Structure 1
Amino acid sequence: MTQFVKEKFNLTRLRSVLLGLLVGLMSGTVVSAFRYCIEVGLRYSRLVYGHLRIAPFVWWQWALLIGVNLGLALIVAWLLKKEPYISGSGIPQVEGQLAGELEMHWWSILWRKFVGGVLALGPGLFLGREGPSIQLGASVGQGLAAGFKLSGTDRRLLIASGSAAGLAAAFNAPIAGTLFVLEEVYHNFSPLVWLTALAGAIGSDFVSLNVFGLVPVLHLSYSRSLPVSSYWHLILLGILLGLFGYLYQRILLVMPRWYRNLTHLPRPLQGIVPFLLVILVGYFAPNLLGGGNGLIVGFGQYVPSLLVLIAIFVVRFVFSMISYGSGLPGGIFLPILSLGAVIGAIYGVFMNQLGLLPHVYIMNLIIFSMAGYFAGIGKAPFTAILLVTEMVGNLTHLMPLAVLSLTAYLVVDLLGGA
């Protein structure tokens, strides 16, 4: 009878799916709390800068603001010194763990990444929540595996499932979360891996949707699909995104050396630089604070003029390098998506002024450019296409997304991008 049950039902896969679902529910709870704390911190930061803009100059208020940011930078530096593996997005650390090259203590990573991420993203630094969310989910998976005394492949499956769950909860994108783990983290498309990862992503997204609602994270809409006769814009825009993507890669890779040579600060203390510089950004342009999702959604109501868009791009490009290059706990996906949206807006407005593109299609290019820029920099085109599709909440643009993503990917690849 037992043999019949084993043949009739694949208990190994059922067990993996149930474990993945449990990891997803737990990761979704952790990441949703992480998202909520960041949103509260960012909202409070904008209120503070809004008050400073309209109130008369009072020196002690500015001194207090500088002191608070310095204090936050020192707390994060202490966390980084105690646990260096929480630095950056955390995705390379998870990849190394799954490859058997790194071993990390899950609880030390979990609470320090949570606190460090909230303290870095809450004040409005140009960092994304998705990288820390992936590492938080992976830590939950590792912790659950330790609780069930699992090792080897079973342990790696739960870590991968937690990674997918983290991205799914960060962006309400379960399919992209699953594919990201397969394409970029685990590098394995076996049924057991994707089933467990999908179960984790679904469980996590269920929790996230209950907390933040059903509206897509980057809900944008356009009135008309881009006609096939205008697809030549996708090729030109893809080349532009590829060139800027390669530039982004090259500068980002040298930022640690620049920080070391210019500041002479120990690595954990280099976060002081963006913590102080963000005060200037917050005072002059509080709406630009954060990873950039507010900026992207704002394009749905109003697309600024060409000169304003170029200024926004320069500020976001430079400060995202300063923020991420410092090694603070924070991701890079949202800053990349926001820069892609701005490049798409610049191209669309410019072509519209030349009379080569109707204004109604500018929003299309903004959406497509997010995927193209992500595909070029992250070298993960499938994830880029599905991520933007789920975050925007529209399935009608898969073909132009694919054309633009492939073009940007090839340009970066031909230039030798890593």
Structure 2
Amino acid sequence: MMKSWQRCQQYLHQRLPGLQKQLALPQTSLQLCLLGALGGLVAAVLIILFRLAILALQSLYLSSFDDFSTADSEFRWMLPFAGAICIGAVALFAGYRHYRLGIPFVIHRMKTQYGMMPFRNTLNQFFGGIAALASGFSVGREGPSVHLGAYGASFIGKKLKLPFNSIRTLVGCGIAAGIAASFNTPLAAVIFVMEVVLREYRIHVFIPVMLAAVVGALVTRSVFGVERELAILEIVSLPGWHFPYLILCGVMIGAIAFVFNTNMMRVIRLFKSWPLPFRLLLAAAITAAVGFLIPQAMGAETGAIQYAVSAPTDVQLLLALFIGKMILTVFALGLGVPGGVIGPIFGIGIIFGTMLAILPGMVHGDSAHAGTYAVLGMAGLMAACLHAPLAALVAVMELASNPDIILPAMLVITSAYVTGVQLFKNKSLFLMQLDFLQMPYKLSPADDLLQKVGVLALLDERYHVITNPDDVTIRHHLDLLEADELLVIKRTQEQGAEFQLASYDVSLSMSGADSIRYLPMVGIIKQATMAEAFNALEAQREGAVYVYDDSQAEVHPIGLIRWDQVQSLLVKQNNLL
């Protein structure tokens, strides 16, 4: 057994350099697809453990999953406080400065750190998310799922020391698998990654992300089955006379999205200066108070779906659920409870959509269309709040499993999105949070392009290195260089080695000065992309950087990246895109 493991390690060590070099190029490959599937598997396992932990805890005091009205009223009000204490304890153990979680943080890391997630933040997200969802806070499980999926996939990339551009693709795979494992919606997961997280469509990214979503969905179905939460909603085809009313529904949903996003940001701003323990206790107090009056509003989206189905004409209950769910979600997420916003948006949208079905139900004489309107409300609110119209449409198609929902969903999503953007100037909730927290999520056009290509793909190995030479030796080597070769000078010092690029300077030689010109060289690790090379050379706009293997004890160039290579890549950007 030990010999087999050693042979496997030896084989991997031999093959890894070739794999690293191949993945440095932005192209579809079998190796990247297989790694994406592996990342999806790791993400799915983490999500399964996450969901099983929540189910195990809730089974101790709930008769039905996510239905907190089944808990004893004298015990129910204590749950949010117990959850807040657990979340605070985990944050204290992991460190308060590592308490940046959820989808906005993942988007930020995707743009600034190629999606690589810190371990301590992930600890906060995993255990804090379990405590939040098990204790009745109105947060979704997709936020932790995205974070955990990103961590699982980036862990593989870091262990294999893959180029950063391929690690970002792997992180997209992990996120897609995490969402697919959370909601059993693999196609919507792929679209969400492209539309919300990566904010771009590239075929070499799309294929492995799609495969990872399939793996995530299949693994999760093997544990939790194929049943979806929206399966209990009856979707029926809407007659043509509903369509003008659907436009009005979309307008109202767009207004609700604006109210939701605005109040969420208002709570975040108002309580930003409060210490985390105080914010968590306030969130627990509000959840306990509202949950005591409206227990059906506690938890993620599942309970709201159940009650929307069971009482589609009970205006008083639906209105109470809608208001309670809005208050609980805005304060829980605004005060820093770890969890996602998509699940609560689903619940709020389903409740509001069911309320919108009451008017046509009165005209028609029954409530047969309530399920259809509930799904449409969910789709419209997700599109307007998160600026993810395509992901919302695909999610509805998968969750409803009924093609009759497509046309009305497109109409509601369009009208809700346009209303929010043009009439209310509503922005994506994720981007509003990133802007407020001053967490960068935008790249310059040059960095955006160059981050897609690893330096290993363009290594220039036409150079000679000489150590601590004198001027005579340098001139001798310069005279022997071919036209396309470079000379690197290594100067050893107590604090380490320094590298310089040596060349003849014609202008200096004509003035009688020393004709040898030295340009300092910056080193970048072999996992880096051309963006790091560009940033190192941008100021001087000439010369080269040296690439080294950070796993070796002594820093030694394994290749160079010249400034003219960076320029050439920028010029050829249309061919790469």
- TM-score, reference length from structure 1: 0.88
* Cα pair 1:127 1:323 within 8 Å, conserved: yes
Query: What is aligned with 2:543?
Result: none
Shift in Å, 1:115: 0.6
2:146 matched residue in structure 1:
134
**Aligned residue number for residue 366 of structure 1:** 374
1:334 aligned partner, one-letter code: G
Partner of 2:391: 383
In structure 1, the partner of 2:208 is 196
Determine which of 308, 321, 332 is the counterpart of 1:299: 308
Asked if the contact 1:46–1:286 (Cα under 8 Å) also holds between the matched residues in 2, the reply is no
Query: Paired residue for 1:3?
Result: none
Structure 2 distance, partners of 1:86, 1:120, is 15
Give the conservation status (yes or no) of the 8 Å contact 2:115–2:168.
no
Query: Partner of 1:327 in structure 2?
Result: 336
- Structure-1 separation of matches of 2:389 and 2:270: 30
Task: Check the 8 A contact 1:24/1:201 in 2, yes or no.
Answer: yes
Q: Which residue of 1 aligns with 2:41?
A: 25
User: Which position in structure 2 is the counterpart of 1:118?
Assistant: 130
User: Could you say if the C-alpha distance between residues 73 and 97 of structure 1 is closer, same or farther in structure 2, counting changes exceeding 3 Å?
Assistant: closer
Alignment partner, residue 345 of structure 2: 336
Matched to 1:126, the amino acid is S
Does 2:422 correspond to 1:406? no
Unpaired runs of 5+ in structure 2? Answer: 1-21, 428-577
CA distance 1:307–1:63, shift in 2 (3 Å): closer
Is 1:347 the counterpart of 2:367? The answer is no
Counterpart check, 1:205 vs 2:214: no
Pair 1:37-2:53 in alignment? yes
Alignment of 1:16 with 2:28, yes or no, is no
The SS at the match of 2:361 is helix
Greater Cα shift, 162-171 or 214-223? 214-223
1:319-345 C-alpha deviation (Å, 9 max, x unpaired): 111111011210000111111111111
| Maintained 8 Å contact 1:24/1:165 | yes
Larger Rg: 2
- The match for 1:225 is 237
Which residue in the other structure is 2:287 paired with? 278
Q: Report the Cα distance in structure 2 between the residues aligned to 1:241 and 1:319, rounded to whole angstroms.
A: 19
The separation in 2 between residues aligned to 1:242 and 1:280, in whole angstroms, is 29
Per-residue CA deviations over 1:268-288 (Å, capped at 9, x if unaligned) read: 541111223323344443333
Distance in 1 of aligned mates of 2:58 and 2:286: 16
Q: Which amino acid aligns with 1:13?
A: S
Provide closer, same or farther for how the CA distance between residues 281 and 102 of structure 1 changes in structure 2, counting only shifts above 3 A. farther
CA distance in 1, matches of 2:229, 2:76: 33
Q: In the alignment, is the contact (CA less than 8 A) between 1:73 and 1:275 conserved in 2?
A: no
Correspondent of 2:271 among 238, 259, 280: 259
Matched letter for residue 86 of structure 2: L
CA displacement, residues 368-400 of structure 1 (integer Å, 9 cap, x when unaligned): 111011101111100001112222332331111
Alignment-mate amino acid for residue 239 of structure 2: P
**Cα deviation, residue 130, structure 1:** 0.3
Following TM superposition, by how much is the alpha carbon of 1:80 offset from its aligned partner in structure 2, in angstroms?
6.8
Tell whether the 8 Å contact from 2:186 to 2:213 is kept in structure 1 after alignment: yes
* Worse-superposed segment, 240-249 or 342-351: 342-351
**C-alpha contact 2:308 2:351 (8 A) present in aligned 1:** no
How large is the Cα RMSD of the aligned pairs? 2.6
Specify the alignment match of 1:68 in structure 2: 82
How far apart in 2 are the matches of 1:123 and 1:98?
31
* Contact 1:243–1:411, Cα closer than 8 Å, also in 2: yes
* Aligned with residue 394 of structure 1, among 376, 379, 402: 402
Which of 135, 146, 157 matches 2:158? 146
What residue in structure 1 maps to residue 510 of structure 2? none
Offset of residue 241 of structure 1: 0.1
How many angstroms apart in 2 are the aligned matches of 1:79 and 1:308? 41
- Does the alignment pair 1:155 with 2:155? no
Residues 373 and 11 (structure 1 numbering): CA distance in 2 closer, same or farther, change over 3 Å?
A: closer
Q: For 1:157-176, what per-residue CA distance to the aligned partner results, in whole angstroms no more than 9, with x for missing partners?
A: 11111111111111001101
| CA apart distance, 1:63 | 10
Given that 1:133 and 1:170 are in contact with CA atoms closer than 8 Å, whether structure 2 keeps it comes out as yes
Task: Give the Cα–Cα distance (whole angstroms) in 1 for the partners of residues 130 and 336 of structure 2.
Answer: 15
**Please, what TM-score do these two structures have when normalized by structure 2?**
0.64
1:313 aligns with 2:313: no
Higher relative contact order, chain-length normalized (CA < 8 Å, sep 6+): 1
Give 1:239 shift. 0.5
> Equivalent residues in 2 for 1:48-127 (5 A)?
50=70, 52-53=72-73, 68-69=82-83, 71-78=85-92, 81-87=95-101, 90-100=102-112, 105-127=117-139
The 1:154/1:128 distance shift into structure 2, 3 A limit, reads: same
d(CA) in 2 for partners of 1:65, 1:268: 16
Shift of 1:196: 1.4
Aligned residue among 175, 178, 190 for 1:166: 178
Residues 272-330 of structure 1 deviation map (CA, whole Å, 9 limit, x = unaligned):
11223323344443333211222214433432511221111111111111111011210
Is residue 312–residue 367 contact of structure 2 (8 Å, CA) maintained in 1? Answer: no
TM superposition shift of 1:11: 9.1
Q: When you count helix as a share of all residues, which structure comes out higher?
A: 1
**Which amino acid counterpart does residue 274 of structure 1 have in structure 2?**
A
Query: More strand per residue: 1 or 2?
Result: 2
